[in-house]
Amino acid sequence: MNTYRLIIHNRDRLLGHFESSTPSSREAIKEIADCLKRNGYQLELLVAYDERRLVESTSDGVRLLSSEPLFKPAPLDM
C-alpha cells in the first residue's frame, strides 16, 4: 500500500496538500486531481518510497517515537 501526497497550488500560491495511504489511495488521488485540474489548480504528485524513523533504545527495549514518509516526485497521469 503506497502513500501519495498531492501538493495543491492556485495562481502560484501554495494552498496545501492532500495525503492518502488507504488501500484505494491511488484512485482517491486521481479523483481529487481530476477535479482540481478542471478548475485550474496546479498539482504536484509525490509518492512515498521509504520512511525516516526516530527510535529510542533503553533497557526496556526499543520504542518507535515517530516516523516520517520520504517522498519522491511521481507522474500525475497515473
pLDDT given at position 28: 92
pLDDT given at position 77: 80
* DSSP for 27-60, written as a single string: HHHHHHHHHHHHTT-EEEEEEEEEEEEEEEEETT
In the structure, what pLDDT confidence band is assigned to residue 25 with cuts at 50, 70 and 90? very high
Query: Which of these, 13, 59, 18, 11, lies nearest to 39 by C-alpha position?
Result: 11
**Does the CA dihedral 55-16-4-29 come out positive or negative?**
positive
Q: Which helix (H) or strand (E) holds 25?
A: helix 25-38
- Condensed to tens digits (0 to 9), the pLDDT of residues 47-70 reads 999 999 999 999 999 999 999 999
The phi-psi region of residue 76 (left if phi > 0; otherwise alpha if psi is between -120 and 50; otherwise beta) is alpha
